[in-house]
Structure 1
Amino acid sequence: MDGRDSSCPHIECVIVGDSKVGKSYLLSRLANRPLKGTYRPTMFDMVPVQVNRAGDIVIVDFWDTPGCHAHEKVRELSYGGAQIFVICFSVADPDSQNSVTEKWVHEIQRINRKVPFLLVGLQSDLRGDVETCKRLQSTGRDFPTITEMSAMARQIGAVDYVECSAITEIGLDRLLQTLVSAVSKPAFLRPFSPRRSCPLPPLSAFDKDTPKKVSSPLNLGLAERTTQKGVLPP
């Protein structure tokens, strides 16, 4: 079945996190795409992934976003229509962990405070990598424990903490099931609208300081859903 099957409910999920923490690698693995050997910065990408939940198929439309500060205004265009966020960091990069509380929680809640979010630790396979362990030890740092990150998830108001690896695939199923469970209420599940798969406008569509009024792919069709249902999902 095509990942964009209109007969299945869809969940719009926006993924955020620092650059180079493994967001795009994760989505490539979830979508069974070839894994790229070299890092390539992401602008925007949408990856539909089928999730089987108790015999029912739900499509999670993952929106991959750039992590650098220069694209903040463009990135935030995707936030308004999200039904759930995934805040990613690398367990092998303490700076990306710090960014969770210093940047990403504030950024998504400034735009869309009522939407749930997951905290996801990526690259868990590096916990057993000798060179990575030596690099962290040389700077007086270490991998965070799952207990520590679970406590952090509760502190920042995340639905849960999930740790996974795109290399070993450990934790991927738990990530998908936890995500769908967090948005399991019927009011959150939307029928597929092909207009939401439109790409975001190029960076040239924005001026240096103030973005023009351009609809994001997740916000297209809001007026129609308001007319048909009266109330939009929170």
Structure 2
Amino acid sequence: MTTGAEFDHLFKILLVGDSGVGKSSLLLRFTADTFDDLSPTIGVDFKLKLMNLSGKRLKLTIWDTAGQERFRTLTSSYYRGAQGIILVYDVTRRDTFTNLSDVWLKEVELHVNNEDCVKLLVGNKVDRDSERAVTKQEGIAFARRYGCLFLESSAKTRVNVQQCFEELVQKILDTPSLLANTSSAKKNILRPGQPGNDEAQPSGVCQC
């Protein structure tokens, strides 16, 4: 098993989107393989995940941001230094899809300082397909328009959850400009005083 001190790259990933789309549930499913219909995140939370991909040992810090507007000033600083952004919407709620372009992509463009930051669009809750309000074709078209990867998922049934994070991380690995300063020799993510480290405490570590 890879220990926390032994990794080739450390990546910062953010989950963004409206409240209630399932960001926290996706994160819990990926890091602990459990499901809970969680209450809305207050401010920002994060978890650690260790994984191996393409022969690389990776440590992921995955930040789960609150979707409510009142927390947006607080969460804006967490975009800095991110290599990957997961934009999540609920396929049963069209407003969460339209808000991606009206709100969340604007936040990303305003605050992300890695020009080549990889964006992944995720349509969550496909287990409720009979209630679908956004078609898969609309998701694909949106992703193409804004240069995002795209997958549909269900945190409840595990559908595509692992694939979401693996595809995002693989794209980061394939983008040389995003690999600068990500080696274990250059990172200490819990050192006090660094942006994004002393603003929140980790909610859990998964060494799966």
Same fold (TM over 0.5): yes
1:119 positional shift: 0.8
**Structure 1 residues 92-134: Cα deviation after superposition (integer angstroms, max 9, x where no partner):** 1111001101000011101226122111111111114xxxx2x
Amino acid at match of 1:177: E
Task: Say whether the 8 Å CA contact 1:195–1:217 is kept in structure 2.
Answer: no
Distance 1:104 1:10, change over 3 A: same
Which secondary structure does the structure 1 equivalent of 2:168 belong to? helix
Range with greater deviation from structure 2 (78-87 or 31-40): 31-40
Q: Which structure's residues are more often helix, by fraction?
A: 1
Match of 2:121 in 1: 119
Please give the residue correspondences for 1:169-188 in structure 2 after superposition, counting only pairs within 5 Å: 169-184=158-173, 185-188=175-178
Amino acid at match of 1:216: P
Distance 1:153 1:219, change over 3 A: farther
> d(CA) in 1 for partners of 2:72 and 2:34?
28
> d(CA) in 1 for partners of 2:40 and 2:23?
11
Give the number of the structure whose alpha-carbon radius of gyration is greater. 1
> d(CA) in 2 for partners of 1:21 and 1:34?
17
Q: Which structure's residues are more often strand, by fraction?
A: 2
Which secondary structure does the structure 2 equivalent of 1:12 belong to? strand
> d(CA) in 1 for partners of 2:57 and 2:188?
21
Match of 1:59 in 2: 59
Amino acid at match of 1:24: S
> d(CA) in 2 for partners of 1:37 and 1:105?
25
Amino acid at match of 2:162: D
1:195 positional shift: 4.5
Instruction: Give me the identity figure in percent.
Output: 24
Amino acid at match of 1:191: S
Task: Say whether the 8 Å CA contact 1:101–1:156 is kept in structure 2.
Answer: no
| Normalised TM-score (structure 2) | 0.81
Amino acid at match of 1:70: R
**Structure 1 residues 140-186: Cα deviation after superposition (integer angstroms, max 9, x where no partner):** xx53222221111111222x111111111111122122111221145
| Normalised TM-score (structure 1) | 0.73
Match of 2:183 in 1: 191
Distance 1:40 1:100, change over 3 A: closer
> d(CA) in 1 for partners of 2:126 and 2:55?
29
Match of 2:202 in 1: none
Match of 2:205 in 1: none
1:59 positional shift: 2.2
Amino acid at match of 2:127: D
Show structure 1 runs of 5+ residues with no match: 134-141, 200-213, 221-234
By relative contact order (CA 8 Å, sep 6+), the higher-ranking structure is 2
**Would you say 1:217 and 2:207 are equivalent positions?**
no
Distance 1:218 1:157, change over 3 A: farther
Match of 1:91 in 2: 91
1:188 positional shift: 2.4
1:41 positional shift: 3.0
Show structure 2 runs of 5+ residues with no match: 200-208
Q: 1:147 aligns with which of 137, 141, 159?
A: 137
> d(CA) in 2 for partners of 1:116 and 1:38?
27
Distance 1:37 1:176, change over 3 A: closer
1:197 positional shift: 3.5
Which secondary structure does the structure 2 equivalent of 1:167 belong to? coil
Which secondary structure does the structure 1 equivalent of 2:123 belong to? strand
Match of 1:164 in 2: 153
